[in-house]
A and B are shown apart, each in its own frame.
Chain A
């Protein structure tokens, strides 16, 4: 008698546990598994045991960590450990997503504005080293220069609309550079916290003191200037130079368009 595949399967399938045996084995399993912990019944964390989810989770943690660090770095001032993250990571990222000339100009104006605030805060604190302050000063020089170049690029087509935009951006940049002479609330806070340890001057008096610290309008040359003071003068020179460049550009572009 020849056996077919099905015959063999049928014979094999007849080998089985009786219902009684099956019940007994299950009862023994139940009895013995009481000592073991129950299978993971926390669906919320269960996904962490799946390799692909584990990878995705690790990636998410990295992303969240990166953005948190990036957000913290935004508040940093020269001399802070996170200041390098702000200058070397956050800002290049901002620049990389600005595709048009106008967007590039706006980004550089914003960064210049930020840098002026950084310098003012650092000056108010008077704890920043020369090297740390020079990082911010160099950055201000670079970004204000880049802003001017981008503004020039905006008007390159000589279309009326583009020229109007470039003039508007020039004004924004000029106004931004002007803010160096003003005392911002943030910088005043830094200065006030310093002053708190000594006498507590009236708010108006504190603002005046700040102004004197940050940008003395008429520095007295009776004493030899400190490195810090020299650096702050350098900032003023940069700002004056850039303002001059903006004026020259505006004369050029408005003269041509008339």
Chain B
């Protein structure tokens, strides 16, 4: 990854995934787009400084994750709310499932999961990241991450099931 052509290729390959990851977390399309731009710029700067990056994909997600955490912290400070998910767009008491699009329903159900389940599923669904990559981004072991993904997926399916019944 040493020239602009390769960087553009990485953008074409991963921009959608990074965007999905950020959008699932913020529910704010514009904010997600801004953070995508920032994540790629930061990665470019790191490469310019000669930082050795083993997996560009994992690095991009880690940068996006950190940017997101900073952004959420900033928003929380502004709104002086303690809840980490203050910017979560999905309200527990939202409209009926039938009134929502598939994507909105997915986001609402993901929003209902516990923090750890939510985090792994967002990564898993963003860009179909491998368990190893997700573990690297979250700083967890591969085994632990694998169990989390499985349980989170089962929990999400049960939420869908409950929604329909």
Binding site for B on A (CB under 8 A): 1-5, 8-9, 11-17, 21-22, 25-26, 28-29, 32-33, 36-41, 43, 46, 49-51
Contacts and interface: CB of A to CB of B under 8 A. Distances in A.
Given A8-B125, A11-B103, A2 B2 contact: no
B2 A9 contact: no
Interface in B17-55: 19-20, 23-24, 33, 36-37, 40-41, 44-45, 47-52
Interface stretch (B63-71, B112-120, B137-145, B157-165): B157-165
Contacts of B135: none
Contact of B160 (A1, A12, A39): A1
B11 to A, nearest CB: 6
B77 to A, nearest CB: 25
Given A11-B102, A15-B20, A25-B15, A1 B164 contact: yes
Contact of B11 (A2, A13, A26): A26
B79 to A, nearest CB: 25
A40 B48 contact: yes
B20 A16 contact: yes
B153 A49 contact: no
Interface of B: 1-4, 7-8, 11-12, 15-16, 19-20, 23-24, 33, 36-37, 40-41, 44-45, 47-52, 102-103, 105-106, 125-126, 128, 153, 156-157, 160-161, 164
Contact of A17 (B15, B44, B50): B15
A192 to B, nearest CB: 55
Given A25-B36, A50-B52, A11 B16 contact: no
Contacts, number: 100
B1 to A, nearest CB: 7
A32 to B, nearest CB: 6
Contacts of B49: 37
B27 to A, nearest CB: 11
A36 B42 CA distance: 10
B16 A51 contact: no
A39 B48 contact: yes
B55 to A, nearest CB: 14
B158 to A, nearest CB: 9
B44 A3 contact: no
B20 A39 contact: no
A9 B128 contact: yes
A166 B51 CA distance: 63
A26 B33 CA distance: 11
A101 to B, nearest CB: 53
A8 B7 CA distance: 30
A15 B50 contact: no
B58 to A, nearest CB: 17
B103 A25 contact: no
